[in-house]
Amino acid sequence: MPSSPAKLQDAQTRLPIGEVVRRSGMAASALRFYEEQGLLGSQRSEGGRRHYARGDLRRIAFIRAAQTVGLSLEQIRAAMSQLPDGRTPNAADWQRLSSGWRPVLDQRIAELIQLRDTLSACIGCGCLSLSKCALYNPADAAAKAGPGARYLLGDSAQAVMDGAAKSGRAAKSAAAPVRVRKP
């Protein structure tokens, strides 16, 4: 049975999943997952195999870049939904969408710098205890400031200590004064 010209042309512009895997560097399971998440679409051949549009290679690159920035799949889906008719993002789309991610990147960079600077100082004291550290967290004062990694969330060591001292819950060492280095 001869194929229609439209079907033949469509088949020539689509890539089988193996070719997309080879060209994108993504695992087939990742492509299927992105499809389940609504980030990609495929058509099935008569034999039931997935075929993707050539433009999906750019969509995959877009997804990978957005994940590298640290965006969730939900955020990526929302960004891609802003594209007219679900088309492949072009350079102007990338510029517009990625400019909105700059604050997310700036925040992540600030958190990583703070982690880097605090981590080396904390390990340097030798105690390796986040709950009993005499330098950064005497009497587990950070826990009293709230849940989570308080210093990574933006609390300064001095603010945590001041808050603990005001509440009367900070233990004071009689042997030596506690020196707090600001992260």
Residue 2 has pLDDT above 50, yes or no: no
Interatomic CA distance for residues 118 and 112, integer angstroms: 10
3-state secondary structure 143-156: HHCCCCCCCCCCCC
CB 178 within 8 A of CB 135: yes
Name the pTM for this structure. Answer: 0.57
Q: How far is CA 132 from CA 119, 120, 139, 146, 170, in A?
A: 15, 17, 6, 16, 11
Structure confidence at residue 147 (pLDDT): 82
By percentage, how much of the chain surpasses pLDDT 90?
A: 19
Residue 99 has pLDDT above 80, yes or no: yes
Query: Per mean pLDDT, which range of 15-19, 45-49, 60-64, 141-145 is the poorest?
Result: 141-145
Interatomic CA distance for residues 29 and 11, integer angstroms: 22
* pLDDT class of 97 with cuts at 50, 70, 90: confident
End-to-end CA gap in the chain = 73
14: tokens are 């689509």
* pLDDT class of 131 with cuts at 50, 70, 90: low
* CA trace torsion 65, 66, 70, 74 (10° rounding): -150
Query: Per mean pLDDT, which range of 36-40, 67-71, 138-142 is the poorest?
Result: 138-142
Interatomic CA distance for residues 73 and 13, integer angstroms: 27
Query: Per mean pLDDT, which range of 14-28, 41-55, 87-101, 115-129 is the poorest?
Result: 115-129
Q: What is the DSSP string of 132-180?
A: T-TTT-GGGHHHHT-SS-TTTTT--HHHHHHHHHHHT-----SSSPPP-
pLDDT, average across residues 157-177: 59
Interatomic CA distance for residues 160 and 18, integer angstroms: 55
- Which amino acid makes up residue 19? E
pLDDT, average across residues 143-156: 76
Most confident region among 53-62, 125-134, 157-166, 170-179 by mean pLDDT? 53-62
Interatomic CA distance for residues 79 and 76, integer angstroms: 5
Residue 179 has pLDDT above 60, yes or no: no
Structure confidence at residue 92 (pLDDT): 87
Structure confidence at residue 64 (pLDDT): 92
| pLDDT, averaged across the chain | 76
